[in-house]
Each structure stands twice: as structure tokens, then as C-alpha cells.
């Protein structure tokens, strides 16, 4: 046996020993369960249910509420006068003459636009062009629906002026409205979640950003998955990212082992909803709450029946 072969075998043996040792002594660091995440599975209306009504408008939120959703999945940005408004796009194009960036308008100026102007229903009609729908502030949403689960996605980049202010302003508003136990704060930018938590100090449930998802999936597919140390409380993810499938029962179970539920977006197909629930998903984020709410309720009833029959 040559020296190189002996060296390779020694390295392999040392790696195996390190893996076995860490597996024996290091237990998964589970996240402390947050109140807002105790119910499962849940249905969250994506932007209020964007295929049924104009997204992020009070029209949409009220309609989704009537369907019986557990909460809303929303996006937030900061206005010129530093008000937190509920909107996804950075650029305003909600009326024939409403153009520009959210950050360039005050809240009062944004009130002049019809945020239902471009909504088209399933028949190709524009039913809300003559029914003005004003922009919604996060505070108004908190006050209108005091008991709803609200998943808040910070859209302003941490590199922008607005993004630098958002974590502290968002925390102060959540604290002012006593909404700590009914919100999840997340962002595509993991840095925004970290910065928000500097103020919140784990008093608010945190959602995974892109970096958090990448770290978790890398750990899951490695031999050292037990060494993963999560910094967030819930994953809201698509079923696929590039060529990687994120909806395997094993990946869901892996995250559940850290007390992290998994919610999938944006799911509007009944068959896909059923498959995800059967795989262990704890939440469906959807543009079609009219489909998702009764389906999830029926699924829950069937699980109860199965449990009774097995006794």
C-alpha cells in the first residue's frame, strides 16, 4: 500500500470518527416555539389573495378574511415620509398616471392612486377601475384585523436608505400595536431579518431569508446536518429553487426536527396542495384562498378520522 493510499485512508477514518463523535454528543438546537406558529396547517392569503382581488388592498384582505384564512402574507416598503406601507413592487404603476418609486412619494401622495386599477378578473374584465382602492399601511392592517397571523416580508434592500431604517421602524410599530405574538418577519435579504432581530431579541417569529434556506439545504444534504444551527423560526419557500427540490418529506422532517415549520408559496393548484400537506407541509401560501381554505379543512378532518380509526 502506497503512502498516498495510506494517507487517504487515514483522512477518511478521521472524518468518519469526527462525524460519529459529533453525532453522539451534539443534539439539534431546536428553536423555541412561537405562539403564532402553533397552529398547523395554516392558509395564508398571498398579498391578500392576488387572483381574487387587487393585491395588497383592503378589498383583497377583507375578501380573504371572509373565506376564513388564518392570515396574510404581505410585503412592506418605506415611503418618503417613512411610513410603512403594504406593497410588493418598488415602482408604482397603479393608475394611468401613477408612476415612480414608493420611496419618492409621501403617504398622502400615494393615497391619490388607485391600487386596484390594473386588476383583471378571470374573464378579462377590470372590475375595480371605478372603485378607488387606497394603499394600505401596516398599522391600518394591524388595526383592521387584530387577531390575524400576518407574515411580513421586508422588501427594501439593506443597502438603501429605506432599508437601513426599516428594521427599527418595523419593530417599533409591532411593539406599539402589541402584535409580537401574531406576526412573522422575514425578507429575501437574510441581513434584514438579522438586523430586525437586534431590536426584537427573539420576541417575534423570524422567517428564513435566501441565505438561511441555502445553509439549511446544504446542511441537510451533507453528512453533518446535525450541526446546523438555525437562526429563524419558519421557512416560507417555493417547492423548487433552480434544479433543487425543496418539498421532499425528508427535508420537511429535517426542519421539523429543529422545531421549524415549512410553508410553501405560491400554491394555487388543489392537487399540489394535497401533495404538500401529505408530505408534511405546515402551511399553504396562496393566491386562491377560496380553494385552499376548504381543502385544508377537509384534509384536517380526514387526518382526524384516520387517527380515530387507528385507535
Name the residues annotated as catalytic. 46, 88
Contacts with 281 (C-beta within 8 Å, 6 or more apart), sequence order:
41, 247, 252, 262, 263, 264
Do 64 and 55 meet the contact criterion of CB atoms below 8 Å apart?
Answer: no
Give the CA diameter of the chain.
84
Three-class SS state of 166: helix
Query: Does an H or E element contain 242, and which?
Result: none
SS3 102: helix
Q: 77: which residues sit within 8 A by CB, 6+ positions away?
A: 84, 85, 87, 90, 102, 103, 155, 156, 162
Q: Which H or E element spans position 279?
A: helix 270-279
Q: H/E/C letters for each residue in 205-216?
A: EEECCHHHHHHH
Amino acid at each position: 500500500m502506497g503512502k498516498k493510499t495510506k494517507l487517504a485512508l487515514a483522512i477518511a477514518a478521521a472524518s468518519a470518527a469526527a462525524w460519529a463523535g459529533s453525532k453522539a454528543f451534539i443534539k439539534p438546537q431546536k428553536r423555541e416555539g412561537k405562539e403564532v406558529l402553533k397552529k398547523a396547517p395554516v392558509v395564508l392569503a398571498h398579498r391578500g389573495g392576488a387572483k381574487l382581488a387587487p393585491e395588497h388592498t383592503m378589498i383583497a384582505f377583507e375578501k380573504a378574511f371572509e373565506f376564513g384564512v388564518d392570515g396574510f402574507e404581505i410585503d412592506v416598503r418605506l415611503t418618503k415620509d417613512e411610513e410603512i406601507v403594504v406593497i410588493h413592487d418598488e415602482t408604482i404603476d397603479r393608475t394611468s398616471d401613477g408612476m415612480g418609486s414608493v420611496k419618492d412619494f409621501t403617504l398622502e401622495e400615494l393615497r391619490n392612486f388607485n391600487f386596484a386599477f390594473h386588476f383583471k378578473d378571470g374573464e378579462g374584465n377590470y372590475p375595480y377601475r371605478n372603485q378607488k382602492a387606497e394603499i394600505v399601511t401596516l398599522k391600518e392592517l394591524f388595526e383592521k384585523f387584530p387577531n390575524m397571523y400576518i407574515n411580513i416580508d421586508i422588501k427594501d434592500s439593506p443597502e438603501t436608505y429605506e432599508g437601513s431604517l426599516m428594521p427599527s421602524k418595523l419593530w417599533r410599530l409591532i411593539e406599539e400595536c402589541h402584535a409580537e405574538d401574531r406576526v412573522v418577519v422575514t425578507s429575501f435579504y437574510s441581513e434584514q431579518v438579522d438586523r430586525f432581530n437586534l431590536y426584537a431579541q427573539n420576541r417575534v417569529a423570524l422567517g428564513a431569508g435566501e441565505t438561511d434556506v441555502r445553509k439549511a439545504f446544504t446542511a441537510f444534504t451533507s453528512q453533518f446536518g446535525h450541526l446546523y444551527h438555525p437562526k429563524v423560526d419558519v421557512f416560507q419557500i417555493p417547492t423548487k429553487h433552480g434544479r433543487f427540490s425543496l418539498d421532499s418529506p425528508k427535508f420537511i422532517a429535517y426542519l421539523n426536527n429543529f422545531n421549524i415549520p415549512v410553508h410553501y408559496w405560491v400554491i394555487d393548484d388543489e392537487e399540489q396542495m394535497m401533495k404538500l400537506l401529505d408530505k408534511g407541509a405546515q402551511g399553504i401560501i396562496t393566491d386562491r384562498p377560496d380553494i385552499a381554505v376548504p381543502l385544508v379543512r377537509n384534509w384536517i378532518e380526514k387526518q382526524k378520522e384516520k387517527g380515530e380509526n387507528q385507535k
